[in-house]
Amino acid sequence: MFKRKINIAVIGATGYVGLDLIYLLSQHPKASISYLCARKNIGKSIQSFDSRIKKKLPRISVIKNILWKKIDLVFLSLPNREAQKIIKKNIRYKHIRFIDLSADFRLKESNKYKNWYGAKHLAKNIIPHSLYSISEFVKKDIKKFRIIANPGCYPTSIQLALIPLIRKKLIKLKNITIDSKSGYSGAGKNFKKKFTHKNLDNSVIAYGIKKHRHMSELDQEFDKNTKTKVEYIFNPHVVPTFRGLLSSIYLEINNRSSVMKIYRELKKFHKKNKFIKIEQLNKSIGTGDVIDSNFCKISVCETRKKNRVVIFSAIDNLLKGASGQAVQNMNLAYGFKETLGLL
């Protein structure tokens, strides 16, 4: 275990995810924030962006001010393709770990990154040094890697519910429908530029139809866990609330399986996972159950058809879907108690 406090730089400090991350780290007993970096608002205090942050912290500065030899860990909360440039340049500092909250190191094949993100990966030689890290699935391996790729919010909610069932072959891998709804914070501070729909503040909007980028993560991770192709439809929606994410997963169970077996397997798999709560069978859940927390709540429900099941999975998209999971991954990587600074 890392005995002293970790010296941390946060790059991308003033976005929604960055601010939640700094708020968590400011209360973490093993975290010492040395740098808060952004492109704009240089010299401003972080409290001018988030009044929840009470601790005195460094003012916002530019990346070139970082003394890399004095840093242990870098969190990067940046637009896609930015983290890969920074990590490629500074991977030579052998003592530094990087936790990237963008998509830059989520995909293990650089050609797939280009296919999904429309641009060449600029640091493909260091992709092997990265680990795609949903915390609950990487506890044994995360300490071995210097680049920790935080997963997307939708894939986090979906995989926590589905991966245990895929591994145990309890569900049919065809005709899976995944309907996810997220608060608008998932689109970042410029969400109104991304969504030009009428009555945006009062609308539910379907987007990413047919090819949402998070499908690349799902494809990759499903393939890791089964030799059979998982056939699914995924469609996300933005709802008129700031934070929170609910995935509704409709699937068919195997002949040798049952709703109760699915429920019991999820209970068994997540028994020691402190942040995963499996609710009673057929319980209705919503995002209000998990907002402002690092928890994921999962509910297995029967439907009118005996062989069809719906699983609901709720998280806070900015916490378990981003900054909270990043801190959880930090705890695991440095040998701290997994829940430290999160409960």
Residue 104 and residue 130 in contact, taking contact as beta carbons nearer than 8 Å: no
Alpha helical stretches, state H, 69-196? 82-90, 110-117, 153-167, 191-194
For 266, the token pair is 């999820």
Beta strands at 73-76 and 6-11: parallel, antiparallel or unpaired? parallel
Q: Letter for the amino acid at 139?
A: K
Tell me the CA end-to-end span of the chain in Å, nearest whole number: 20
> What is the C-alpha separation between 259 and 286, in angstroms, rounded?
20
Residue 258 and residue 202 in contact, taking contact as beta carbons nearer than 8 Å: no
Q: Letter for the amino acid at 131?
A: L
Return phi, psi of residue 93, to 5°: -80, 95
Residue 314 and residue 246 in contact, taking contact as beta carbons nearer than 8 Å: yes
Question: Measuring CA to CA, which residue among 325, 340, 18 is closest to residue 150?
Answer: 325
> What is the C-alpha separation between 300 and 247, in angstroms, rounded?
12
Return phi, psi of residue 37, to 5°: -115, 145
153 among known catalytic residues:
yes
DSSP letter at 10? E
Strand order in the sheet with 245-252: 205-206, 232-239, 176-183, 245-252, 308-315, 296-302, 276-278
Kindly name the residue from 37, 153, 296, 301 that is annotated as catalytic. Answer: 153
Where in the sequence numbering do the catalytic residues fall?
153
